[in-house]
Amino acid sequence: MSNITTSMSQYIEEHPELKYVFFGGKGGVGKTAMAGATALWLAGRGKRTLLASTNPVHSLSGLLEQSVFGAPTPVQQAENLWAYEIDTRETIERSKKEIREKIQWFLKFADISTKADDFVESATMNPAFEESAMFENMVDLMLKDEYDVYVFDTAPTANARRLLGMSKIYSLWVDKMLKSREEARTLREMLSFTKKKEEDPLLGYLLQFRQRMGQARERLTDAGKTAFFFVTLPEALPIAVITRFIGWFHDFGIPVGGVVVNMVLDKQALGDGTPEFVLNRVQMQDEHMKTIWEKFDGSVRAILPLFDQEVRGLPMLRQAGQALFAGG
């Protein structure tokens, strides 16, 4: 058996510049609940805090019991706290429109008399497009710098990793695009009789895009500014998920803040009349806690009990926050 060496609150104290906080883990382990409890706790300490969801399947409105869809909305009865479920559909439509404009411009530039629609369809009709639109949304929020702290209720694990991997791929892609754009531009200038120099909006866009992605990556890989916390239960599958996840994040150079163990049965509540079913579950959890200490010793930041009700509404979020930030 081991103990928590650096608690959640100590971690926060040791990272005074912390600005981007994420929670990852298997579905249903309590990511949204932890994100909400953390945002409320940080706001309570005077930080202007935005709790944001880029996940197309939102749950913040349910968590806070008020609608926070479509715009950053002040959370009732909580100072310094805003919450925001990003409208996925709107984002996608906007991105499509932007892409359409760029393609139309390009077709005109290249003297190609094809309708832009076919290109737009093939550029946007793939599953990665939605994710990439969500990623850009997140980057927009991050770079606007309107809040002291951003707590993101992330998409399920595999997506989050892809999103982060994407910032690297984006950069490579844009570099390549820029190169061919510049070549095309030089060629066109050479061939041009008029010799008049045109502004190239596509080139400008790509340059700006690369700059923004670079900035985002810089921040997301800065251990002073960013922390990903991984939530698990004392059960085999959620442990396997975060083990894999933490490995990926190390590979990507993205800072791992630590591990939060949720829904642990309170042994002190057990009496003589405890049913066998509960005793068995406690024993199962004990076994998996051993694995957790073996694998994540030094990285466990908090252990939260299984409450007798869901984590929903401010009073329960406060209670969860107390457990998450206990001992400091």
**What are the φ/ψ torsions at residue 200 (nearest 5 degrees)?**
-110, 100
Binding flag, residue 306, ligand ADP (CB under 6 A): yes
Binding site partner of 29, from ligand ADP, Mg ion, none, Cβ cut-off 5-8 A by kind: ligand ADP
Binding flag, residue 307, ligand ADP (CB under 6 A): yes
Binding site partner of 312, from ligand ADP, Mg ion, none, Cβ cut-off 5-8 A by kind: ligand ADP
Contacts of 237 (CB under 8 A, 6+ apart): 26
Candidates 89-97, 221-229, 276-284, 300-308: pick the segment binding ligand ADP (CB under 6 A).
Answer: 300-308
The minimum distance between CB 37 and ligand ADP, in angstroms, equals 9
Residues linked to residue 264 through DSSP beta bridges, in sequence order? 305
3-state helix, strand, coil in the chain (%, to 5): 55, 15, 30
The binding site for Mg ion (CB under 5 A) comprises 31-32, 59
Size of the site for ligand ADP (CB under 6 A): 17
The minimum distance between CB 113 and Mg ion, in angstroms, equals 48
Report the residue from 293, 312, 313, 326 that binds ligand ADP according to the rule CB under 6 A.
Answer: 312
Binding flag, residue 103, ligand ADP (CB under 6 A): no
Distances (CA, A) of 200 to 106, 141, 183, 207: 9, 27, 12, 11
Binding flag, residue 262, ligand ADP (CB under 6 A): yes
Q: Residue 66 or 221: which CB sits closer to ligand ADP?
A: 66
Q: Which of residues 23-52 bind ligand ADP (CB under 6 A)?
A: 25, 27-33
Binding site partner of 27, from Mg ion, ligand ADP, none, Cβ cut-off 5-8 A by kind: ligand ADP
**Consecutive H or E run containing 314:** helix 314-324
**What are the φ/ψ torsions at residue 92 (nearest 5 degrees)?**
-65, -45
Contacts of 103 (CB under 8 A, 6+ apart): 116, 119, 120, 123
Residues linked to residue 85 through DSSP beta bridges, in sequence order? 53, 69
Distance CA 107, CA 115 (A): 8
Contact residues toward ligand ADP (CB under 6 A) are 25, 27-33, 59, 262-263, 304, 306-307, 310-312
